[in-house]
C-alpha cells in the first residue's frame, strides 16, 4: 500500500515537470506579475495621497492661512490689514494702531486715531481734553464744551464763544499764527499708476481751509511738497509755513496726490480731509499727526501752530 502511494506521487510530479517543460509560460511569471500589479497599486495610492495633500495645503487653503505661511498672492499690506499677518514697518502708524501692532503707546493711538481707547492703560492716562474730543469723557457735554470747546453741538444752550473758567484762552485765535506743515511719508499701494514698472510720478500738495464759527475764511493751496519720478516709497521731512488769520477756530486740511504724466495728470487724491476744531486752545507743542491710508497710497504728515 505504501509503495503504491509513493508511485502515485512520483507519477504526479513527473506530469507537472513535463507540463512545465512543454509550456511556453513560466509558472513563476504569473506570481511575479501579481507582485508587480500589487506594487503599482500601492505606489499609485501614495502618489494620489501626496497629490491630495498638496491640494489641501495650497490651492484649497484659506487666504488667511496663505498670508500666515507667506505664500499669498496678495500684498503684505493686504495680509496685515485683513488678517494681521506680514505686518511690517512699511505700514503707516494709523494701520498699526488699528491692528494693535504699533510700538507707540495705547494713549497715543487713542488720542491720535481713536483706536485702542478702551484699553485700561490708555484711557487712564489720557488727558480730559482728549477724552472730551473723542467722546469718552465721564464728564458732561456741557463741561467738555465749557472747558475744552468739544461736544458743544450737544449742548442746547451753547453760545458762539466759550471761555475756560480756569484760563483766559478761547477756542479761536486771538492773533494770527504760523501753521507749520511737514510731510513725512509716502508709499504707493496700487499698481495702476503710469511710469516705469507701474511706479508713479507722485506730486503731493495740500489745500487748507480755515473757518470762524462755521464761516469759510481762507483757502490756501500749498506749493508742492514732493515731486518725484518713478517712485513707490519716500520718507523724510519737507516743511512749509502758512499764515492762519486771527479769529480762526477750525482748520481743515486736504491732501492732494497727483500722478504726473506728459499729456495729462491723473488725480489719485482720496478726497479725505482732516479737521481740527477749537484751535485757540492749541499750544506750540501740540503737534497734530494725520494719515491718509487708502487703496492707492499711504500718506503721513503733521502740523502745529506757532
Per-residue pLDDT reduced to its tens digit, 83-129? 767 766 456 777 777 777 777 777 777 767 667 665 534 444 566 77
Question: Does residue 60 lie within any of the structural domains?
Answer: no
Highest mean pLDDT among 42-51, 149-158, 255-264: 255-264
Which residue, 290, 286, 260, 289, is CA-closest to 273? 290
Mean pLDDT for all residues in the chain: 77
34-43, 102-111, 238-247, 266-275: least confidently modelled range: 34-43
Q: Buried (b) or exposed (e) across 224-237, using 16+ Cβ within 10 A?
A: ebeebeebbebeee
Residue scoring higher pLDDT (134 or 58): 134
Phi and psi based region of residue 190 (left: phi greater than 0; alpha: psi -120 to 50; beta: remaining):
beta
Residues 254 and 295 both lie in one domain: yes
Tens of pLDDT along 42-80? 666 655 665 555 545 555 678 777 877 777 777 776 777
Integer Cα distance of 289 and 92 in angstroms: 12
Q: Is the pLDDT of residue 283 over 80?
A: yes
C-alpha span between 259 and 299 (Å, rounded): 14
In this structure, the answer to whether residues 279 and 203 fall within a common structural domain is yes
What is residue 161's predicted lDDT score, i.e. its pLDDT?
A: 42
* CATH number where 255 lies: 2.60.40.150
Based on the fold, state whether residues 299 and 186 are members of the same structural domain.
yes
In a domain, 133, yes or no: yes
The three three-digit cell numbers of residue 278, written as one number: 477749537
All residues at 6 or more sequence positions from 229 whose CB lies less than 8 Å from its CB, including other chains: 195, 201
Beta strand ranges found along the chain (DSSP E): 177-188, 202-212, 215-221, 226-227, 233-244, 250-259, 266-267, 274-277, 288-293, 297-305
Nearest to residue 212, comparing CAs of 256, 154, 278? 278
Q: Is residue 166 scored above 50 in pLDDT?
A: no
12 part of a folded domain: no
Residue 43 lies in a domain: no
Residue 79 has what pLDDT? 76
**Domain span at 279:** 177-305
Q: Can you tell me the distance from the alpha carbon of 204 to that of 301, in angstroms, rounded to the nearest whole number?
A: 11
The 3-state DSSP class for residue 7 equals helix
Across 97-111, 193-207, 232-246, the highest mean pLDDT is recorded for: 232-246
Question: pTM for this structure?
Answer: 0.49
- Do 204 and 252 belong to one domain? yes
Q: Are residues 181 and 294 in the same domain?
A: yes
Residue 77 vs residues 27, 59, 73, 112, 230: alpha-carbon distances, Å:
68, 21, 12, 21, 20
Q: Of 139, 154, 169, which residue is a domain's last?
A: 154
Is the predicted pLDDT of residue 141 greater than 90, yes or no?
no
134 and 200 assigned to the same domain: no
Distance CA 162, CA 66 (A): 55
On whether the CB atoms of residues 248 and 211 are closer than 8 A, the answer is yes
pLDDT interval class at 259 (50, 70, 90): very high
Pair 296, 257: CB distance under 8 Å? yes
Average pLDDT over every residue of 256-271:
88
DSSP label of 88: -
Instruction: Give the chain's domain count.
Output: 2
Query: Is 50 part of a structural domain of the chain?
Result: no
Distances, alpha carbon 256 to alpha carbons 207, 225, 266, 273, 292, in Å: 7, 10, 11, 10, 10
Instruction: Tell me how crowded residue 271 is: count the other CB atoms within 10 A of its CB.
Output: 10
Contact at 8 Å (CB) between 205 and 221? yes
Residue 61 falls inside a structural domain: no
Handedness of CA 66, 68, 70, 74 (dihedral sign): positive
Phi, psi (5° rounding) for residue 293? -110, 120
Establish if 123 belongs to a structural domain: yes
- CB-based contact 93:291 (threshold 8 Å): yes
Q: How confident is the model at residue 258 (pLDDT cuts 50, 70, 90)?
A: very high
Q: Are residues 181 and 301 in the same domain?
A: yes
Q: Are residues 104 and 182 in the same domain?
A: no
Contact 122, 100 (CB under 8 A): no
Q: Which residue has the higher pLDDT, 135 or 253?
A: 253
Q: Assess whether pLDDT exceeds 70 at residue 21.
A: no
Give domain status of residue 272, yes or no. yes
Say which residue, 132 or 189, is predicted with more confidence: 189
Rounded CA-CA distance 88/96 in Å is: 9
Amino acid at each position: 500500500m505504501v509503495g503504491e502511494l509513493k508511485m502515485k506521487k512520483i507519477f504526479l510530479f513527473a506530469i507537472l515537470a513535463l507540463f512545465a517543460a512543454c509550456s511556453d509560460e513560466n509558472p513563476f511569471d504569473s506570481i511575479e506579475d501579481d507582485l508587480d500589479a500589487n506594487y503599482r497599486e500601492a505606489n499609485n495610492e501614495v502618489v494620489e495621497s501626496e497629490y491630495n495633500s498638496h491640494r489641501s495645503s495650497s490651492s484649497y487653503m484659506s487666504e488667511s492661512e496663505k498670508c500666515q505661511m507667506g505664500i499669498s498672492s496678495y500684498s503684505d499690506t493686504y495680509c496685515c490689514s485683513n488678517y494681521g499677518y506680514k505686518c511690517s514697518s512699511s505700514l503707516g502708524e494709523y494701520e498699526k494702531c488699528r491692528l494693535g501692532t504699533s510700538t507707540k503707546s495705547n494713549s497715543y493711538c487713542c488720542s491720535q486715531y481713536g483706536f485702542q481707547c478702551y484699553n485700561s492703560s490708555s484711557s487712564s492716562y489720557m488727558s480730559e481734553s482728549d477724552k472730551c474730543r473723542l467722546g469718552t469723557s465721564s464728564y458732561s457735554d456741557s463741561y467738555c464744551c465749557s472747558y475744552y470747546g468739544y461736544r458743544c453741538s450737544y449742548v442746547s444752550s451753547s453760545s458762539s464763544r466759550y471761555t475756560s473758567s480756569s484760563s483766559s484762552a478761547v477756542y479761536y485765535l486771538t492773533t494770527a499764527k504760523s501753521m507749520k506743515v511737514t510731510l513725512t511719508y509716502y508709499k504707493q499701494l496700487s499698481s495702476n499708476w503710469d511710469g516705469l514698472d507701474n511706479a508713479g510720478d507722485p506730486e503731493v500738495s495740500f489745500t487748507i481751509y480755515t473757518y470762524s464759527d462755521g464761516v469759510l475764511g481762507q483757502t490756501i493751496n500749498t506749493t508742492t511738497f514732493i515731486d518725484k519720478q518713478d517712485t513707490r516709497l519716500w520718507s523724510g521731512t519737507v516743511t512749509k509755513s502758512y499764515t492762519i488769520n486771527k479769529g480762526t477756530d477750525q482748520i481743515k486740511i486736504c491732501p492732494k496726490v497727483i500722478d504726473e504724466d506728459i499729456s495729462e495728470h491723473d488725480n489719485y487724491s482720496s478726497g479725505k480731509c482732516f479737521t481740527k476744531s477749537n484751535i485757540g486752545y492749541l499750544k506750540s507743542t501740540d503737534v497734530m499727526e494725520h494719515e491718509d491710508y487708502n487703496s492707492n497710497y499711504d500718506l503721513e504728515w503733521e502740523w502745529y501752530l506757532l
